[in-house]
Amino acid sequence: MAGSVPEIQIQVNSKKGGNSIHPVEPARTSAGGGPPVVYREIKHFKKWFPWLIPSFVIANVVTFFVTMYVNNCPHNSVSCVAGFLGRFSFQPFGENPLLGPSSNTLEKMGALDVNKVVHEHEGWRLITCMWLHGGVFHLLANMLSLIVIGIRLEREFGFVRIGLLYIIAGLGGSLFSALFIKSNISVGASGALFGLLGSMLSELIINWTIYANKLAVLVTLVVIIVINLAVGILPHVDNFAHIGGFMSGFLLGFVFLIRPQFGWVSQRYASSGYSSTSAKPKFKVYQMVLWVISLVLLIIGFTSGLVMLLRGVDLNDHCSWCHYMSCVPTSRWSCNTEPVSCMSEQTDNQLTLTCSNSNKTRSYSLSNPSTSQIQGLCSQLCR
């Protein structure tokens, strides 16, 4: 009919990502018994070729190899794991159970050290720590997650938005961690990864009307996020970086991943001869409200966080229970991750051990104890 809006076909993409719905415009029309209509995706919903996230994965792997080369375990340690790898061999399990370098090497390569950030003005560590990993297990877990989550998002939204989201969310995770963890170094891409998870949740919310099976997708995504955050309460896991990255990514998703509505798309791609008395807005009111609120919260959060960090504020002093967000102590493990040393003193048949982290002292009746016996007793005393 003349003057009517040309039909915008709806194409449902049921791949991982929540059955997102994509409008497509006709590239040509068919007349009579001509060839069938061919459609192409409009630019607001185009599929991107994912290259940035794979590049990030390669960069992380290369950085790990460089870190292991610098570590050079045979030159700096008495014993190494997988010694046949030469200078790429790993530190002893007792020092690093993740199959990786020493803490000194990670610090040299740019690990997050709050003292150096605050007192030596090395703010770049908030970014460089995102590209370092504590070991092979740590690297594999993060890179597999990055491939699964990141490639899907880059395909949907392009490398610019996902690249910025990844870096800013990672910075948010580092910043939040630095406000709570003052005595240990921190490394890993987990903050940025949780930022991508958070952005998936906010993207679902802000683009709610263009999703099929939205409730099922929402429940599944929330369960995945809760499980991943719950793992962070184990010792030696920096859950503050996870939480900070997730919150940053959640807000960034409202800003970067907003989609135009189909009504506006239909009008925009209508024929030039069509005129409408009621123009459709590009975004719904709730989308714009979420966009503005999220942008304001991001600016306030990052500004106040940086100011507190540079002033040396320790948020643990203002929140007596917040440390439980990163580790919950049980009878099976302790949340004390400060460096521990055990001093031994042998007098006749009397062995005295003193643990540095608790100042515990205990004496044992042993004559010429072996090194493994002393290490076992130290582990029990300092547990």
Q: Which long-range contacts (CB under 8 A, 24 or more apart) does 35-40 make?
A: 39/9, 39/11
242 is catalytic: yes
190 is catalytic: yes
99: left (phi over 0), alpha (psi -120 to 50) or beta: left
Among 303, 314, 335, 318, smallest CA distance to 180 is for 314
Please identify which of the residues 89, 102, 242, 248 carries the catalytic annotation: 242
Q: Rounded to whole angstroms, how far apart are CA atoms 177 and 246?
A: 12
Q: Which long-range contacts (CB under 8 A, 24 or more apart) does 53-58 make?
A: 53/146, 53/147, 53/150, 53/151, 53/153, 53/154, 53/162, 53/166, 54/147, 54/151, 56/146, 56/150, 56/166, 57/143, 57/146, 57/147
CA 325 to chain centroid: 16
CA 32 to chain centroid: 55
Please identify which of the residues 174, 186, 190, 248 carries the catalytic annotation: 190
User: Which residues are known catalytic residues?
Assistant: 190, 242
